[in-house]
Amino acid sequence: MAETMQESMVHKTVLDNGLTVLSEHIPGLHSVSVGVWIKSGSRQENRDNNGIAHFLEHMVFKGTENRSALQIASALEDLGGSLNAYTGKETTVFYAHTLDKHLSESVDILSDMVCRPLFRKEDIETERRVVLEEISAVKDTPEEYIFDLFQEKLFANHPLGYPVLGRTETVAQFDRDMVLDFWQTFYRPANMIFCAAGNVNHRQFVDLVKTHFNLPAGSADLTSDLPAEIVPFKHSVRQGVYQTHICAGGPALAYLSPQRYDLLALNTYLGGGMSSRLFQVIREKHGLAYSVYSGIDFFRDTGMISFYIGTDPKNEKRAVHLLTEEIERIRTNALPEETIGRIREQLKGSFLLGLESANRRMTRLAKNYVYYDRQISVKEVLQRIDAINSDSVLELAQKLFNMETLSIITINPSGNH
């Protein structure tokens, strides 16, 4: 197997304070991607503090005991590297990508940010305005906003349905005590992973983490109730838009589901690219949309599959009809082996190409330990993809798709345009 596929260079160390340190040495690279993964996100919130995980992610960039916001922003950029972060439903991630010789600087800055943030009141007021603008920007982007609306309806009254950015009314009342409480609760070493991939020596990496990462031992309770039984819905909102934006779908599989790769195959076939059925039928054949695609969200104990179409309001019914036709077709007719073979090659090619990126390798390693608590080898992934077959895909399609329970939400023009 090619060098880029070898995984004998993966190492794991658990420090005395409970922090998991992972690394993967990738021969031939001159860079290293480093990330601090916190096993909590908006799923750990409640109705009153919705958005606090994302707000906290912003706040650690505003200054630490050792660095100003400008020093944080410029430290790695001045070296040609990058520093960023994102918040999801179940994880929050801070990551850096630099030349290998700057590994020490990356570990130092990331540790400083997550271990020693200041959370100054004046910075909270400033960042509140920034996040409120971010929320407004999403609402002004219907192709993005519709997925927030869809998840909110699908996972009604459950944190998985909360928007990651929070809501205007919750963000407006965040204060230092709320931010500090969330940080003290979830930013605990046993709830975190420090991960690196690239030209990295594991022993050196562990020594750097020991030097710079000094949070005391502690863990966090990540227990979360399962979402209630999902009630299918049809819902429409009006907004100042020109197109009708359509999001349809329903519940799917958990991250650890043995049918995970069958679902990836379904998604690839239906809306995973320009050669997908929805793209070819709705856009290429009928010319009803510019954007049309499907997507999957995997969570610890559940999941979601969704379909998006942006079309002229007069074509809404026709577009939805074509969508449901394709869904009905795949749940009643097994895909030919030739099609399954092509999907397998797409999935394998996409996966293997991703292994050439240090950041993708770091993300893959960390996610495997977040969800599986072990590394999933390249060989195992390829074997799972090769195990996809017509019968297993048909069985899953019949399990997931039912035209009577398909949920749909639309954003329609308000009439002002």
Q: Which residues are catalytic?
A: 57
Residue holding tokens 């975190």? 192
Q: Are 113 and 72 in contact (CB under 8 A)?
A: yes
